[in-house]
Amino acid sequence: MKSFDPCYFREQFPLLSTIDKAASEISSLVYFDNAATTQKPLTVINSQQDFYQQINANVHRASHQLSAKATLQFEQSRQLAQNFINAASIKEIIWTKGATESINIVCQSLARDVLSKGDEIVICASEHHANIVPWQQVAKQTGANIQVLPLTDSGYIDISQLDKVITQNTKFVACAHISNVLGRINPVEQVIEKAKSVGALTLIDGAQAVAHINVDVQQLGCDFYVFSAHKMYGPTGIGLLYGKQCLLEKMSPYQSGGEMIKTVSFNKPTTFNSLPFKFEAGTPNIAGVIGFGASIAFLKPLLTNQDKKYQLFEAKLKHYCFLQLRDIEQVEFLVSGEPDIGVIAFTIKGHHNHDIATALDTYGIAVRSGHHCAMPLMETLKLDGCLRVSLAPYNTIAEIDFFINTLKGILSGETLDDNNTVNAVDLKDIHLEGNSSKPTELAKIITLFSSTKGWDSRHREIMLLGKTLPRLEKTDRDEHSLIAGCESKAWLKSSMDKQGNYSFVADSDAKVIRGLLVIVLAAFNHKPAKEIAEFDVSAYFKQLGLLQHLSPSRGNGLLAIVDKIKELTSPSE
């Protein structure tokens, strides 16, 4: 597909077309979480299957034909990758697990060797954790300091601050080409130029850029460029590190073992393989690399076509979605103005972002809520988290309309109606306990959910249960009661009576978490430590039909609540 056609493009993605066709039987999908990972086109899926079915063999080492075929395809992908970003040499393309591992390689194989006390590493305020934590680690190892480039009101790296932040002490500058939250194309050319002027090395995190803009690393002039295949229609678990050959030559290997060696002896020092293999220890992700090559072959013609239809369609979707969201009174964007790519972050006045994301999910609309692996950015913006809609060119205007109408319905209370009544049990006395003729809280919850079918109804019941949870005083919501590991803020306190039974009170900013707290507390309240320790919480959630429906972050949140209860009631406490 040289020239972009939206319908044909969408048809290339079997997951979307399967769901389109089956929409009347199973819930439909509006996938607006493309910044997390994109869906995969048939050509990528087939390339991996064909590899396993037709040419599966290890690469580089064997002397048989099958290995020669596998090696050829494997190395053809490297050529495609070289061409994709216009690297000067194929030796500059190192296969990694993804952007995260690529950054770790630079930090541990180069920065660790060259940094010393007082040196500075400059990153930007909107970085993904993948481009923060590896630098924090190497700063700790070497005594270097981290300096942060601030943002403008519209969410770009503030270039007016470059001279102040990037100084003679700066040894590395690492920043995202495009923020995964703000969707702004950062002025990386100016950042690189400034870094060069003080002799600092540059790493550009292109994880969110490569699916949207044509990248030319030689034109950019950066020292390192990193990205992952899965955000550009390729497989998960594979990505690359581009590095200037002269730097890669000097760097020590990241991992050691097979493939990255030239000679190994018990009597002489081991010598290392040449580039790029020096950084590719062990059997590589061969199918992943071949799939990565297929995704590049799929995407590159679209990105470089002179008609720009791919980019124009992306821009049209983004602009339409932005305008529709802007028209909703309660929507507050994180920064001013329209993003450059279809990554739109916002909060909704009076609603917790997790409640909105969970409600949208009941309509098959997949958006992201939380900190988006950019906790320092949330801190800067004084937010706990936000909602993020991220679009791809297989999305449609009709999907945006459905999303906007559903969101408006949720906000107008059509779906989370305060006047809704709970149908299965009378929840008025759900917290009254101790009368043996009355069912326990636990039994009530089980009865309620056993008569509730489907995720929509269960979600509704969770939201209604949330309303029955008494709110905690503000003074009780402190760092001691905070539940670590729960993405929305949640707090839990315990007390024990004379008989050794524990009681819990809890609260959260998010309604959906308050509902889940009621469910969890019903299992643990008024029980002694031994019963709490022995309670099979997984079986309980399974019985309620929750496990298969809760999103990973909600599932982790549930486990974090249970962990806190167990921590508070374990004998050592």
Q: Applying CB under 6 A, which residues contact ligand PLP? A: 98-100, 128, 130-131, 176, 180, 205, 207-208, 228, 239, 373
CB atoms within 10 A of CB 484: 10
Q: Which is nearer to ligand PLP, 48 or 180 (CB)?
A: 180
Q: Per the residue annotation, which of 124, 175, 373, 486 is the catalytic one? A: 373
Q: Which is nearer to ligand PLP, 166 or 181 (CB)?
A: 181
Instruction: State the minimum distance, in angstroms, from the CB of residue 314 to ligand PLP.
Output: 17
- Which sign, positive or negative, has the C-alpha torsion 91, 92, 98, 104? positive
Instruction: State the minimum distance, in angstroms, from the CB of residue 140 to ligand PLP.
Output: 20
Q: Which is nearer to ligand PLP, 71 or 369 (CB)?
A: 369
DSSP summary character for residue 1: -
Residue whose tokens read 């249970």: 562
**CA atoms of 482 and 561, how far apart (whole Å):** 10
Q: Is the peptide bond before 339 cis (omega within 30 degrees of 0)?
A: no
Instruction: State the minimum distance, in angstroms, from the CB of residue 239 to ligand PLP.
Output: 6
Q: Which is nearer to ligand PLP, 296 or 410 (CB)?
A: 296
Instruction: State the minimum distance, in angstroms, from the CB of residue 207 to ligand PLP.
Output: 3
**CA atoms of 348 and 333, how far apart (whole Å):** 9
Query: Is 386 designated active site?
Result: no
Tell me the HSE value of 570 on the side-chain side, using a 13 A CA sphere.
7
Q: Where are the beta strands (DSSP E) in 316-376?
A: 331-333, 343-348, 365-366, 368-370
Helix (H, G, I), strand (E, B) or coil at 173: strand
**CA atoms of 424 and 445, how far apart (whole Å):** 10
Which helix (H) or strand (E) covers residue 506, if one does?
A: strand 501-508
Instruction: State the minimum distance, in angstroms, from the CB of residue 387 to ligand PLP.
Output: 16
Torsion of CA 377, 379, 384, 388, to 10 degrees: -10
Instruction: State the minimum distance, in angstroms, from the CB of residue 375 to ligand PLP.
Output: 13
Q: Which is nearer to ligand PLP, 174 or 325 (CB)?
A: 174
Q: What value, to the nearest 5°, has the Cα angle with vertex 106 and ends 102 and 111?
A: 160
Q: Which is nearer to ligand PLP, 228 or 553 (CB)?
A: 228
Q: Would you please indicate which residues are annotated as catalytic (active-site) residues?
A: 373
